Chains A and B, each alone.
Chain A
């Protein structure tokens, strides 16, 4: 296998074998047949000269750059980052050298040159409040920019929970009126890669799939690729046997926590969170939140910020006795009121009772 990418990787100290292994891992992570790994490797290795690489435009809206950090700092050597050698990343504010008017020119040039063919990646939510004034780039609101750039896109990747669902800006009380990409764009294929941030392998996997097969992978009802978001954290968690045995850490530093018992009682949202952390892990397979001793926050699920508290067990209700005292008082009052009505009925029946005498019976 030859190609510009293989040469670039070799210069970075990544062997062809490592690259093939990476593609095979990626394919198997997405539950694709083994041949797909080779197809991906060939498609990426055969990436043509710089001018013809698929154009990707990355728009940042109300975001924290965590999603960009996640993929660029994935691990070293940055195999996940190799995707940048395969695509032509024509606009990415954090990574591009250009700034100001030059950056805008690059954006518009890429849009014009690849009309209908470029891949649009969005991270961050779009504010609708105050006519979108909460977040503007180059004098345009995010809403305007998104609509304009989405028009010529082949597909849109909503990167991270903010772009996919509105994320943190969308959390109650949502002061900026933040919404997701899919709330605005209805006529383009959209793939959601939620997570706060998403797993680098998931980002790369989806992009590699698009580059190799020219299509989006199979999605679930939240628009997430089923390959990565098909199972819950809980079902794949190595601490699951402790859950089944009823062995729970009660605090973050008790003996149960030291023994690596289940974090359900400490508020782990693993049972209701669909993501690949438990299998793919983070930082090159080093660890992941539950392995490091903290419960899952549920960051790849819609509105996880408002889902009743990070440190409350899922089976624990928010505040079920809130109405209890009032309800008891109203119940007692209703009971007493009905008692009086019943007593009234009884005494009415008693006074209406006619006494039968022996004389009456002999009539």
Chain B
């Protein structure tokens, strides 16, 4: 298989399968999670200002008082790489073209040089967050294979995409193919790993907020 054949496969059949498995997994997991249901809470609801599912969804996007100082790497690093990922994924012109070809929706992109900077900052933040996870005994103790694995499959698309644009290590064609392949790996594993938080994040926040709101606790 030469690099054009590899690129053709990852753009063709490979992507078909990856998108298929992704959709299958997402729908399966959402059905599974939301059909579990919860026991009805028979206690009387206590009403406290700021205690509700919607409040929690918003509040948990902000660091609790004092936490940024206490755990700067988790918060600043976490914000940086999440925002960086969003910029790189959604504002790079070729990515917008892809989304447009799939959905018909399009929006203006950012200059490649800015995307390049965002990619480097994102990768730096991810590396710092990983180093922190390795260095802090508690974090390391709490980490499982799933954490290391999801970090890797998230990091690789950014790295290969950046290397393809920068023409590092391998010819552009091969790197572009590897970039698309790494995105396909990400798509395939996303529904079945911790990365599914991209879909469950707000639902679980709402649930926690509602349960605690019923008890009169603003979390």
Q: Write the residues of chain A forming the contact surface with B, with a CB cutoff of 8 angstroms.
A: 222, 232, 234-235, 243-246, 248, 264-265, 271-272, 274, 298, 301-304, 306-308, 313-324, 326-328, 330-332, 334-336, 338-339, 342-343
Contact = CB atoms under 8 A, between A and B. Distances in A.
Contacts of A315: 94-95, 97-98
Nearest to B98: A315
B8 to A, nearest CB: 5
Nearest to B22: A327
Contacts of B95: 315
Contacts of B23: 324, 327-328, 331
Contacts of B124: none
5 contacts: A302-B4, A303-B8, A313-B97, A314-B11, A315-B94
B176 interface: yes
A264 B20 CA distance: 27
Given A304-B4, A321-B19, A323-B19, A332 B112 contact: no
A308 to B, nearest CB: 5
B176 A331 contact: no
B66 interface: no
Nearest to A341: B32
B141 interface: no
B36 interface: yes
B32 A342 contact: yes
Nearest to A234: B172
Contacts of A317: 11-12, 15-16, 98, 101
A179 to B, nearest CB: 14
Contacts of A339: 31-32, 35-36
Contact of A327 (B24, B98, B109): B24
Contacts of B148: none
Contacts of B2: 222, 302-303
Contacts of B173: 271-272, 301
B25 A342 contact: no
B4 A246 contact: no
A246 B111 contact: yes
Given A244-B113, A304-B4, A335 B28 contact: yes
Contacts of A316: 11, 97-98, 101
A271 B167 CA distance: 11
B16 to A, nearest CB: 5
B7 interface: yes
Contacts of B98: 315-317
Chain B interface, DSSP helix/strand/loop, else mixed: helix
B169 interface: no
Contacts, number: 136
B27 A332 contact: yes
Contacts of A334: 24, 28, 31
A335 B8 contact: no
Contact of A246 (B26, B30, B109): B109
Contacts of B110: 246
Contacts of A246: 93, 108-112
Given A331-B26, A338-B31, 13 more contacts: A234-B172, A246-B112, A272-B172, A298-B4, A307-B7, A315-B98, A318-B8, A319-B16, A323-B16, A323-B17, A324-B19, A327-B24, A327-B27
Given A323-B16, A332-B31, A334-B24, A248 B93 contact: yes
A265 B101 CA distance: 10
B8 A235 contact: no
B21 interface: yes
Of the candidates B24, B32, B108, the one having the most CB atoms from chain A within 10 angstroms of its own CB is B24
A216 B29 CA distance: 59
Contacts of B4: 272, 298, 301-304, 307
Of the candidates B4, B16, B31, B113, the one having the most CB atoms from chain A within 10 angstroms of its own CB is B4
A101 B5 CA distance: 43
A320 B29 contact: no
Contact of B35 (A319, A326, A331, A342): A342
Given A244-B112, A324-B20, A335 B101 contact: no
Interface string B98-110: 1001100000111
Of the candidates A235, A243, A272, the one having the most CB atoms from chain B within 10 angstroms of its own CB is A272
Contacts of B16: 317-320, 322-323
Contact of A318 (B11, B94, B108): B11
A130 to B, nearest CB: 26
A309 to B, nearest CB: 10
Nearest to A222: B2
A303 B32 CA distance: 44
A301 B173 CA distance: 10
A234 B175 CA distance: 15
A310 to B, nearest CB: 13
Contact of A314 (B3, B15, B176): B176
Contacts of B25: 331
A329 to B, nearest CB: 9
Shortest Cβ-Cβ A-B pairs, 6 listed: A335-B31, A331-B27, A323-B20, A339-B35, A331-B24, A327-B20
Nearest to B110: A246
Contacts of B109: 246
Nearest to A340: B35
Nearest to A326: B20
A342 B173 CA distance: 46
A243 B27 contact: no
